[in-house]
Amino acid sequence: MTGTLVLRDEQNRTLTCEILKQLEFEGQTYALLTPVDECIEILVWGEDDEVTLDADDFQKGLTAEDYEGMLFEPDPDELLEALPTARAVLSEQNLHLELTAFDLMTVKGEVPEVDEDDIVEIAKEEDVEEYQILSTFYHEEDQYAVLRPLDPLLFFAVEVPGQEARLLLPEDNSELFYQLQSLIAADEGEDEA
């Protein structure tokens, strides 16, 4: 199934998504979505003076030097200050940076093909995710990286007739979220058979 659906957040920002799959479950219609435009993240290269070590780090024998050269989420205010520079750098590649609903950043335009030299792995919670480095830039002595996740961002929305679709978060109803994931996996298994 193809088509698009627009999600709106509490700040009235929008995110246009492609509908990958729709399914009926317990009288409701749910959609598996991915953003139409490429999602990106902007992270800052860490330096040893920016790292705050916690008890887990000490137990593992880690020091600030172990974090040097790693990518971290920047302070939200510092990121906002760096956005004009990020926009300028991306515009040189004919990419347009947008702040969308749910605090996601996307780029419009043709993203360069993935080159193995431009791939970085970032540990997130219990997983390691791969990202394509689209660009790097400096803002106030900090080096930033504009990254595109290689795995597409997927999420569910509930569709209510006569109303706007609403993003469904795992913390809203973890059991429902798990059931929807199972239904999608079962449906994909049937498609492959």
Q: Calculate mean pLDDT across residues 76-95.
A: 95
Whether the CB-CB separation of 148 and 134 falls below 8 Å is answered with yes
Q: What is the mean pLDDT of residues 161-170?
A: 86
Tokens representing 13 are 């920002």
Which pLDDT score, from 0 to 100, does residue 170 have?
79
Residues 38-50 have a mean pLDDT of 77
Bridge-based pairing state of the strands 127-139 and 4-8:
unpaired
Mean pLDDT, range 128-147, rounded to an integer? 92
pLDDT at 118: 86
Confidence of residue 45 (pLDDT cuts 50, 70, 90): confident
CA distances from 95 to 65, 81, 132, 135 (A): 35, 19, 15, 11
pLDDT at 60: 46
> Mean pLDDT for the chain?
83
